[in-house]
């Protein structure tokens, strides 16, 4: 029963939410879609901030069903809003401890000092005016405040979208750490593919108020029948392990089932789990092993499926080893010149790899 | 300076301050929940309630005083109730003045508080709810502190407006020294009796008091603007 099952219907002016999904109660589940697709509304329904007819089971516990509706303040959740929304009349510390003070001592699994250390807030915690913090600092305090209620489920509504690029880069490592080290399931709303690819394990794809796909991140991102395949930054995610350094060339080798990738040197201990993102536009295909290529990563693969992506492009789904999917976007002409067919043995040339912690 | 005031005048000053303080306290207790409801409610009759609350702003005080006199008097509906519970008729008593003042100054207390509640918006209260605060807890720990400038404005306005009222008091209370003769009525009585010197002391004091109140009010407003930035 370790899952979340949600089903809501909500009619508001010209917008209809009719969403149903099931997601595991572990790791990060991304609610992904364009703005206006209803992902924030769905998240608010899960929190109980929006009262929509439907049902909601979390970990076998009923939060909403028919007439039964657990009020927001009784749900064991944490919520991080798009804007930090710190209480302006409280100090940074009082903001952090607002929820902590309101839960029973026996329920407190996370201590303020832990969160302060963990989110790097020690130099801010004694500020009296929470509004004097920068955007990124404020959002870190908001995340800490939500964690301090020791939630069973953490809901995050585009926590990075109100921030500039610099602040985003400042917060992302904390979110990744949260992902790795804390055993709190997260539902993360986002419209930014790069964030989702870095953070999520499970993907719930939304469009026009409906859930159009839900599944493990790797599988869902590699599906050719979903709108995500048409994105400019469509691509595959590879979970890999740091295995070796090539010191003279400042490179590191990442192993994954079915192959390995060379990337710029990663200063982390061997065995560290890393997530690599390979964009479809950065993968080209050769039918014979390329000779004399400057490209470091050439992976033997076989073609699994093809699907048109626009008037001049086609998306090729490749499989490396047993289970690793890879996407490649090539021109229609290349497809015909190479006479690509499902089942063919090819070589995938990976021009660039983006790493997420 | 005290020698310039007759014992009756002094009594009028203390009575006025007593009336204004009591009225302000009662008003805070009524206006805060009323403003909270007006700021948050989506009911169809919200507009009616808001109009009723604002009515004393546009009505001549004599009209309000006249109807209160009828309503609270021995033949009035409220008058019969107060007599039945043993309070007696309220007109021409201090208690009657408090009732009249509360109604007369109600919009001056409700509107600043309502504006302050509306300015907070939904978000801080939603945040508090996700942090386990019950509805009452949210009101006390978030809404009230954030509405503090509005509450302060309401206190100052309600107090000053009560000190300055004349029409309702005269209609409802008459001019009984020590019971219903407040400052504004005392000034009127002095002028009617051609005692201009005494009237000057009281009227001048009122001008000074009103000016200081307004200075205080603008300082509250100024700090509010600074805090909101």
B131 contact A CB<8A:
yes
Residues A52 and A169 placed together within one structural domain of the fold: yes
Neighbours of B84 (CB within 10 A): 8
Percent of chain B past pLDDT 70, that is, above it, reads 94
Split into its structural domains, chain A has a count of 2
pLDDT tens digits along B50-90:
999 999 999 999 999 999 999 998 888 898 898 888 888 88
Q: Are B132 and A89 inside 8 Å of each other by CB? A: no
Q: Are A85 and B142 inside 8 Å of each other by CB? A: no
Residues A82 and A184 placed together within one structural domain of the fold: yes
Residues A217 and A242 placed together within one structural domain of the fold: no
Sign of CA dihedral A265, A266, A272, A278: negative
The boundaries of the domain holding residue A291 are 235-356
Whether this model's ipTM surpasses 0.95 comes out as no
Interface test with B, best of A41, A48, A85, A132 (most B CBs within 10 A): A85
pTM: 0.86
Q: Taking residues A247-265, what's their average pLDDT? A: 94
| Domain endpoint, select from A227, A262, A287 | A227
Q: Tell me, what's the pLDDT at A310?
A: 82
Residues A42 and A191 placed together within one structural domain of the fold: yes
Q: Give the chain B residue whose CA is nearest to the CA of A84.
A: B127
Q: State the smallest CA–CA distance between residue A204 and chain B in angstroms.
A: 23
Residues A267 and A211 placed together within one structural domain of the fold: no
Residues A12 and A126 placed together within one structural domain of the fold: yes
Residues A110 and A184 placed together within one structural domain of the fold: yes
Query: Which domains, from first to last, does chain B contain?
Result: 2-63+92-228 (1.10.3720.10)
Residues A245 and A215 placed together within one structural domain of the fold: no
Q: What is the CATH number of the domain that holds A53?
A: 3.40.50.300
Name every chain B residue with its beta carbon within 8 A of the beta carbon of A103.
132
Residues A187 and A323 placed together within one structural domain of the fold: no
Residues A239 and A337 placed together within one structural domain of the fold: yes
pLDDT at B228 over 60: no
| Domain endpoint, select from A187, A202, A227 | A227
Q: Tell me, what's the pLDDT at B226?
A: 45
pLDDT at A317 over 80: yes
**Three-class DSSP labels, chain B:** CHHHCCHHHHHHHHHHHHHHHHHHHHHHHHHHHHHHHHHHCCCCCHHHHHHHHHHHHHCCHHHHHHHHHHHHCCCCHHHHHHHHCCCCCCCCCHHHHHHHHHHHHHHHHHHHHHHHHHHHCCHHHHHHHHCCCCHHHHHHHHHHHHCHHHHHHHHHHHHHHHHHCCHHHHHHHCCCCCCCCCHHHHHHHHHHCCCHHHHHHHHHHHHHHHHHHHHHHHHHHHHHHHHHC
pLDDT tens digits along A20-59:
999 999 999 999 999 889 999 999 999 999 999 999 999 9
Lowest mean pLDDT among A165-174, B40-49, B220-229: B220-229
Residues A142 and A245 placed together within one structural domain of the fold: no
Q: Are A103 and B132 inside 8 Å of each other by CB? A: yes
Report d(CA A230, CA A308) in Å as an integer. 9
Name every chain A residue with its beta carbon within 8 A of the beta carbon of B226.
none
Confidence of residue A150 (pLDDT cuts 50, 70, 90): very high
Q: What is the CATH number of the domain that holds A270?
A: 2.40.50.100
Residues A219 and A239 placed together within one structural domain of the fold: no
| Domain endpoint, select from A227, A254, A273 | A227
């Amino acid at each position: 029963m370790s899952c979340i099952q949600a089903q809501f219907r909500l009619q508001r002016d010209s917008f209809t939410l009719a969403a149903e999904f099931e997601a595991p109660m572990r790791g990060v589940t991304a609610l992904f879609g364009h703005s206006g697709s209803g992902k924030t509304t769905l998240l608010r329904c899960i929190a109980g901030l929006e009262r929509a007819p439907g049902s909601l089971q979390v970990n076998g516990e009923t939060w909403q069903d028919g007439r039964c509706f657990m009020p927001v303040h009784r749900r064991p959740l944490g919520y991080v809003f798009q804007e930090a929304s710190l209480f302006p009349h409280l100090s940074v510390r009082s903001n952090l401890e607002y929820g902590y003070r309101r839960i029973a001592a026996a329920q407190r699994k996370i201590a303020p000092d832990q969160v302060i250390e963990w989110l790097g807030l020690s130099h801010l915690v004694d500020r009296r005016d929470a509004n004097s913090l920068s955007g990124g600092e404020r959002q870190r305090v908001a995340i800490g405040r939500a964690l301090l209620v020791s939630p069973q489920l953490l809901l995050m509504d585009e926590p990075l979208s109100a921030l500039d690029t610099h602040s985003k880069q400042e917060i992302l490592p904390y979110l990744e750490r949260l992902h790795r080290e804390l055993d709190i399931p997260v539902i993360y709303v986002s419209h930014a593919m790069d964030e989702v690819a870095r953070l999520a394990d499970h993907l719930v794809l939304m469009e026009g108020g409906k859930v159009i796909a839900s599944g493990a991140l790797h599988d869902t991102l590699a599906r050719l029948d979903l709108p995500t395949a048409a994105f400019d930054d469509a691509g595959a995610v590879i979970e890999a392990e740091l295995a070796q350094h090539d010191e003279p060339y400042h490179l590191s080798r990442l192993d994954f089932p079915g192959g390995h990738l060379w990337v710029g040197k990663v200063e982390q201990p061997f065995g560290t789990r890393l997530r690599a993102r390979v964009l479809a536009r950065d993968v080209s295909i050769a039918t014979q092993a390329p000779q004399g290529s400057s490209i470091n990563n050439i992976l033997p693969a076989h073609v699994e499926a093809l699907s048109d992506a626009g008037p001049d492009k086609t998306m090729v789904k490749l499989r490396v080893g047993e289970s690793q999917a890879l996407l490649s976007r090539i021109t229609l002409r290349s497809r015909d010149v190479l006479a690509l067919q499902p089942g063919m043995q090819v070589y995938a040339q990976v021009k660039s790899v983006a790493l997420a912690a | 300076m005290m020698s310039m005031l007759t014992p009756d005048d002094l009594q009028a000053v203390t009575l006025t301050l007593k009336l204004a303080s009591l009225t302000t306290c009662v008003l805070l207790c009524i206006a805060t929940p009323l403003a909270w409801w007006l700021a948050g409610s989506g009911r169809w009759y919200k507009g009616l309630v808001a109009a009723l609350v604002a009515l004393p702003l546009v009505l001549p005080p004599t009209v309000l005083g006249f109807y209160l006199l009828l309503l609270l008097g021995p033949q009035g509906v409220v008058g019969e109730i107060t007599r039945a519970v043993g309070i007696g008729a309220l007109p021409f008593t201090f208690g009657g003045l408090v009732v009249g003042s509360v109604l007369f100054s109600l919009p001056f207390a409700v509107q600043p508080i309502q504006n302050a509640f509306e300015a907070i918006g939904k978000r801080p209260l939603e945040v508090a709810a996700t942090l386990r605060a019950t509805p009452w807890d949210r009101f006390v720990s978030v809404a009230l502190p954030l509405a503090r400038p509005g509450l302060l404005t309401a206190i100052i306005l309600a107090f000053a407006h009560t000190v300055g009222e004349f029409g309702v008091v005269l209609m409802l209370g008459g001019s009984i020294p020590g019971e219903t003769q407040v400052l504004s009525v005392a000034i009127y009585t002095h002028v009617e009796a051609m005692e201009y010197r005494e009237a000057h002391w009281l009227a001048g004091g009122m001008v000074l008091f009103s000016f200081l109140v307004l200075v205080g009010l603008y300082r509250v407003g100024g700090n509010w603007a600074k805090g909101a930035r």
